[in-house]
Chain A
């Protein structure tokens, strides 16, 4: 026990008496451990974030997306689709980029959502003041809009926007309501949105063809069945296979995202692990130099009765302490930088398992890469070691 404590003491002494070298040696491991923690943490955070936001949409909503720009549904097809079993509501969805301005405020670019009166209820959005979009607004191509809470505040500060006119691409649009604060979703700030009637979008240079739509299913249990029915409808209608469009539930979107996110995490984690291994080679290199530098010390210790095991342990523990220390600094740095990134708006959720694994990896690397130099040191012949200088 004393022997062991003594070995530990010597190890710390050597590491601290060579601070610069020790830190440079540990750097590879520090970066490796920290980046594993940060990358996986951000992956986790994004995953949790997306999952909760997609879930908040409700699991009874399907998203229709026609990826091929050559094909689109027409506005009147909505009525036909509403005939499909269990389809309760459909909101076509389109975004148009435009400049927005209110009286003297600077004009700024904004993404305008063109949709129908059903969108708000499908998305579970409510209004905090004013009124919702009506069927009449759609029929008349009315120049009216609903404002997200953030953009309302930006344009109107404290005054009431309802009934006021804002300029979208220079045209006047009357604000009919303000949407209750939602928070950000999938990296977009939903509270920055401006919603206009689908038919009104033609004034912004967009037609009424439909590429994207949200579909509410009346019974969650029939979601797969309904998906198939919708797919069949579109295949028949447009004469295209499901290679050209998707009808996806929130669950399947989460699955897709999880898959992408996992493979990304594995890739990034892999790259970070390589830096861990490179760090280990650095440790081995320095330990080999250390053995050469301390050959005389090894000789003296052997003359004083050190066994092979004593010398082996001494160098192994030194490598181990170096790596454990590097791992620890890496953990602290990784979580620190991660939390900082979290404050800057990235989603960061550190995983205890990965943190533990990263730390243990650096300890194992200490053993794996420390054993060779330590073994070399322990096998030195006492007389040759004593004669070294």
Chain B
């Protein structure tokens, strides 16, 4: 079991109102799975994703990632896990605007103590893998949305993470580009990559082997 969530809760308190963003969620993911989580806006998808990606901490519950209990890990260990075991793909790409495509892909490699030549070599390979040869030295503002998302996917793959977490990766793209990106993710999964994908678009969700529904912070298989 790669991921195991047990009774995870995340509530937000706004004045005297309590928003149950994640309400008693238990959920497991095996190695090699391609899971999509689908739900309407405000249902708690991003909150769940941020907890899975160690960017946010739940109020209560247990989270085991690759056998390690996350609530017991120190800040430094969390950073290492984010770096090595998790690859993030965001709806708005979140590339670093001043860095070139290759330099963006190098970022997680350098935080993993790889030297410049090695990491550059690997970044160039990854650019090929996501079909962006020739765009190595372009900065994000010189790339289209679809191209930026490919760079982001390449970056997510850089340290060969156990799991890819994609939060609405096609949310900012047109349908043709979305299909390309989904094709890329499907290929990755066929080669054994575990992927959890969040979307509110059923057409996108259907590309995954397993679909989980979320509404009002609760999961339904």
Closest to B88 in A: A303
Max chain B C-beta neighbours (<10 A), residue from A5, A302, A310 = A302
* A343 part of interface (Cβ distance < 8 Å): no
Q: How close is B138's CB to chain A, nearest CB, in angstroms?
A: 16
Instruction: Tell me whether A304 and B114 are in contact in the complex, defined as CB-CB below 8 angstroms, given that A13-B98, A17-B98, A297-B96 are known contacts.
Output: no
* B119 part of interface (Cβ distance < 8 Å): yes
Closest to B116 in A: A2
Among A17, A297, A304, the residue within 8 A (CB) of B82 is A304
Among A17, A296, A307, the residue within 8 A (CB) of B79 is A307
Instruction: Tell me whether A382 and B84 are in contact in the complex, defined as CB-CB below 8 angstroms, given that A6-B116, A307-B79 are known contacts.
Output: no
* B174 part of interface (Cβ distance < 8 Å): no
* B16 part of interface (Cβ distance < 8 Å): no
* A266 part of interface (Cβ distance < 8 Å): no
Instruction: Tell me whether A303 and B53 are in contact in the complex, defined as CB-CB below 8 angstroms, given that A2-B110, A2-B116 are known contacts.
Output: yes
Are B119 and A302 closer than 8 Å at their CB atoms? no
* B56 part of interface (Cβ distance < 8 Å): yes
* Docked complex Cα distance between A304 and B155 (Å): 9
Are B55 and A305 closer than 8 Å at their CB atoms? no
Chain B residues whose C-beta falls within 8 Å of the C-beta of A310 in the assembled complex = 111
* B75 part of interface (Cβ distance < 8 Å): yes
Are A304 and B113 closer than 8 Å at their CB atoms? no
Are B75 and A306 closer than 8 Å at their CB atoms? no
Closest to B114 in A: A2
Closest to B119 in A: A2
Are B76 and A308 closer than 8 Å at their CB atoms? yes
Interface size on B, residues (CB 8 A): 28
Q: How close is B110's CB to chain A, nearest CB, in angstroms?
A: 5
* B146 part of interface (Cβ distance < 8 Å): no
Chain B residues whose C-beta falls within 8 Å of the C-beta of A305 in the assembled complex = 79-80, 82-84, 108, 111-112, 159
110-140 of chain B: CB within 8 A of chain A: 110-116, 119
Q: How close is B67's CB to chain A, nearest CB, in angstroms?
A: 19
Max chain A C-beta neighbours (<10 A), residue from B53, B55, B80, B96 = B55
* A364 part of interface (Cβ distance < 8 Å): no
* A300 part of interface (Cβ distance < 8 Å): yes
Are B94 and A308 closer than 8 Å at their CB atoms? no
Are A303 and B107 closer than 8 Å at their CB atoms? no
Instruction: Tell me whether A383 and B55 are in contact in the complex, defined as CB-CB below 8 angstroms, given that A297-B96, A303-B88, A304-B155 are known contacts.
Output: yes
Among B55, B79, B82, B119, the residue within 8 A (CB) of A308 is B79
Closest to A307 in B: B79
Among B76, B96, B159, the residue within 8 A (CB) of A307 is B76
Closest to A296 in B: B94
* A158 part of interface (Cβ distance < 8 Å): no
Q: How close is A145's CB to chain B, nearest CB, in angstroms?
A: 77
Instruction: Tell me whether A386 and B80 are in contact in the complex, defined as CB-CB below 8 angstroms, given that A2-B116, A17-B98 are known contacts.
Output: no
Are A3 and B111 closer than 8 Å at their CB atoms? yes
Closest to A300 in B: B94
Chain B residues whose C-beta falls within 8 Å of the C-beta of A2 in the assembled complex = 110, 113-116, 119
Are A6 and B79 closer than 8 Å at their CB atoms? no
Chain A residues whose C-beta falls within 8 Å of the C-beta of B80 in the assembled complex = 305, 307
Instruction: Tell me whether A302 and B75 are in contact in the complex, defined as CB-CB below 8 angstroms, given that A2-B115, A2-B119 are known contacts.
Output: no
* Docked complex Cα distance between A308 and B119 (Å): 22
Which residues of A are at the interface with B, using a C-beta cutoff of 8 A? 1-3, 5-6, 13-14, 17, 296-297, 300-308, 310, 382-383, 386
24 A–B contacts from the bound complex (CB under 8 Å): A1-B115, A2-B113, A2-B114, A2-B116, A2-B119, A3-B110, A5-B116, A6-B116, A300-B95, A300-B96, A301-B96, A301-B111, A303-B94, A304-B155, A305-B79, A305-B80, A305-B84, A305-B159, A307-B75, A307-B80, A308-B79, A382-B55, A382-B56, A382-B82
